[in-house]
């Protein structure tokens, strides 16, 4: 939504940039990538015709326009928050909605049962439509065709260098890869380092690829 030519989606970003005086910290605070936050700052500079943040050595300082904007923007956001706080309290038990979730196959067994149990107790009117990860999952997420995705953070799975800036993400935890083989056949001491940097793994990469294909198909 735009008001007098200003994209209101940039309002909270403007406040965080002015308050943090750091592109890195502002990006972390709102869940954007640093390139995405830099692009947002450039749009804000173009709108106001002012740098807003000025380099000073290794840090950033507010311009005079940035100083003048900080308090009014904060107050505007507080007023917006007050509008939503005046709404009736959210009740999960009263919610009637279907959510579409994309989930990696190994997470379906590890995560989905606990999610379903919690929903059955707290939000019995909610239905989940779960589908597997495909090459179109990122496109469908950005298009609003799915609501949430659970997958390993590996953009190359979708032929991307990075996820789009519009996609917000949160790391839930590590998911280590484990290779299982007979103790008298696999030289475990040599296999404890990454296969990309270890000659033992590189010499056997064909077997690991074959094992991976078999494992994903079984």
* Predicted pLDDT of residue 153: 66
What's the total number of domains in the chain? 3
* Predicted pLDDT of residue 53: 94
**Distance between CA atoms of residues 140 and 120, nearest Å:** 27
Q: Which helix (H) or strand (E) holds 101?
A: strand 97-103
| Distance separating the N- and C-terminal Cα atoms of the chain | 48
**Distance between CA atoms of residues 24 and 1, nearest Å:** 26
CATH of residue 21: 1.10.10.10
Contacts of 140 (CB under 8 A, 6+ apart): 102, 146
Does the residue 116 lie in any domain?
A: yes
Comparison of pLDDT for 64 and 6, the residue scoring more: 64
Is the same domain home to 120 and 104?
yes
pLDDT digits (tens, 9 = 90+) for 180-203: 665 555 555 554 444 444 554 445
Is the same domain home to 66 and 97?
no
Q: 58-96 burial, b for 16+ CB within 10 Å, e for fewer?
A: eebebbeebeebbeebeebeeeeeeeeeeeeeeeeeeee
Comparison of pLDDT for 172 and 42, the residue scoring more: 42
Comparison of pLDDT for 17 and 106, the residue scoring more: 17
Does the residue 164 lie in any domain?
A: no
Collapsed DSSP state (helix, strand, coil) of residue 162: coil
Model confidence at 204, pLDDT cuts 50, 70, 90, reads very low
CATH of residue 132: 3.40.190.10
Give 95's Cβ-side CA count (13 Å radius): 17
Model confidence at 210, pLDDT cuts 50, 70, 90, reads very low
Does the residue 176 lie in any domain?
A: no
Domain that holds residue 17: 2-85
Could you tell me if 26 and 20 are in contact, meaning their C-beta atoms sit under 8 angstroms apart? yes
pLDDT at 209 over 50: no
Q: 185-197 burial, b for 16+ CB within 10 Å, e for fewer?
A: eeeeeeeeeebee
Does the residue 35 lie in any domain?
A: yes
Burial-class residue 214 by CB neighbours within 10 Å (0-12, 13-18, 19+).
exposed
Nearest to 154 by CA among 179, 171, 166: 171
pLDDT digits (tens, 9 = 90+) for 38-85: 999 999 999 999 999 999 888 899 999 999 999 999 999 888 887 766
* Predicted pLDDT of residue 195: 45
* Predicted pLDDT of residue 184: 53
Is the same domain home to 38 and 68?
yes
Q: 122-147 burial, b for 16+ CB within 10 Å, e for fewer?
A: ebeebeeebeebeeebbeebeeeebe
Is the same domain home to 96 and 79?
no
Is the same domain home to 11 and 79?
yes
Could you tell me if 186 and 178 are in contact, meaning their C-beta atoms sit under 8 angstroms apart? no
Model confidence at 179, pLDDT cuts 50, 70, 90, reads low
Is the same domain home to 52 and 19?
yes
Is the same domain home to 81 and 96?
no
Is the same domain home to 79 and 96?
no
Mean pLDDT of 137-147: 86
Which of 138, 158, 178 is the last residue in one of the domains?
158
pLDDT at 17 over 90: yes
pLDDT digits (tens, 9 = 90+) for 98-128: 999 998 888 888 888 898 999 999 999 999 9
This prediction's pTM: 0.43
* Predicted pLDDT of residue 187: 54
* Predicted pLDDT of residue 216: 33
């Amino acid at each position: 939504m735009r008001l007098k030519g200003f994209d209101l989606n940039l309002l909270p970003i403007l406040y965080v940039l002015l308050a943090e005086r750091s592109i890195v910290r502002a990006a972390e605070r709102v869940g954007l990538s640093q390139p995405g936050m830099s692009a947002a700052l450039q749009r804000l500079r173009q709108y106001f015709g002012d740098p807003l943040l000025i380099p000073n050595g290794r840090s950033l300082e507010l311009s005079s326009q940035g100083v003048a904007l900080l308090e009014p923007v904060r107050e505007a956001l507080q007023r917006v928050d007050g509008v939503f706080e005046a709404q009736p309290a959210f009740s999960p038990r009263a919610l009637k909605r279907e959510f579409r979730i994309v989930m990696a196959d190994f997470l379906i067994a590890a995560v989905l049962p606990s999610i379903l149990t919690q929903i059955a107790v707290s939000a019995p009117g909610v239905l989940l439509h779960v589908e597997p990860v495909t090459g179109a999952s990122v496109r469908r997420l950005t298009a609003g065709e799915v609501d949430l995705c659970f997958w390993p953070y590996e953009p190359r799975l979708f032929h991307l260098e990075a996820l789009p800036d519009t996609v917000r993400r949160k790391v839930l935890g590590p998911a280590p890869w484990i290779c299982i083989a007979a103790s008298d056949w696999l030289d475990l001491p040599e296999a404890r380092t990454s296969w990309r940097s270890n000659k033992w793994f590189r010499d056997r990469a064909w077997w690991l690829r074959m094992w991976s294909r078999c494992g994903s198909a079984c």
